[in-house]
């Protein structure tokens, strides 16, 4: 059984789903979408838990997004190779987990912006 790293698996699934998004012939949707999603989640959590300025939140979330993009660039081949041989059952569970993560991210954004 494969030991799942959540952040890597999120990248793997989104990269697989968004492989049709390209810039200059290179697949890029799978790189930027999980990076930005994680950055937005950091921003929402900071909005709920701290009272820092919006500019600071945006800066921190941008740094997180850029860091994650570089992380994914460096580990792309390792991540894709690790998970592409997963069983159908594991793939189904992983798909459900990623969909749940996306739904919770949207809910977190809503709560963050409307209640805090």
Half-sphere exposure of 49 (CA within 13 A, CB side): 7
- Long-range contacts for 110-116 (Cβ within 8 Å, ≥24 apart)? 111/44, 111/48, 112/43, 112/44, 112/45, 112/47, 112/48, 113/44, 113/47, 116/47, 116/48
What is the pLDDT tens value at each position of the chain, 116 positions in all?
Answer: 678 888 899 999 988 888 776 666 666 667 788 999 999 999 999 989 998 898 999 999 999 999 999 999 899 899 999 998 888 998 898 899 999 999 999 999 899 888 76
Count other Cβ atoms within 10 Å, centred on residue 85: 8
Instruction: Assess if residue 82 is contained within a domain.
Output: yes
| N-to-C CA span, the chain | 41
Residue 23 φ/ψ, nearest 5 degrees: -130, 120
Instruction: Assess if residue 1 is contained within a domain.
Output: no
User: Whole domain around residue 30: which residue ranges?
Assistant: 6-115
Count other Cβ atoms within 10 Å, centred on residue 32: 17
- In the chain, the number of structural domains is 1
Instruction: Assess if residue 29 is contained within a domain.
Output: yes
| Token pair for 103 | 């739904």
pLDDT at 114: 81
Q: Is 15 exposed, middle or buried (0-12, 13-18, 19+ CB in 10 A)?
A: buried
């Amino acid at each position: 059984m494969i030991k799942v790293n959540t952040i890597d698996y999120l990248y793997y699934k989104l990269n697989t789903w968004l492989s049709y998004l390209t810039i200059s012939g290179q697949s890029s949707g799978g790189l930027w979408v999980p990076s930005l999603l994680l950055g937005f989640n950091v921003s929402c959590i900071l909005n709920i838990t701290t009272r820092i300025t919006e500019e600071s939140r945006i800066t921190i979330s941008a740094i997180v997004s850029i860091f994650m993009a570089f992380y994914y660039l460096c580990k792309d081949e390792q991540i894709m190779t690790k998970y592409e041989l997963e069983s159908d059952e594991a793939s189904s569970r992983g798909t459900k987990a990623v969909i749940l993560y996306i739904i919770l991210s949207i809910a977190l954004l809503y709560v963050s912006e409307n209640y805090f």
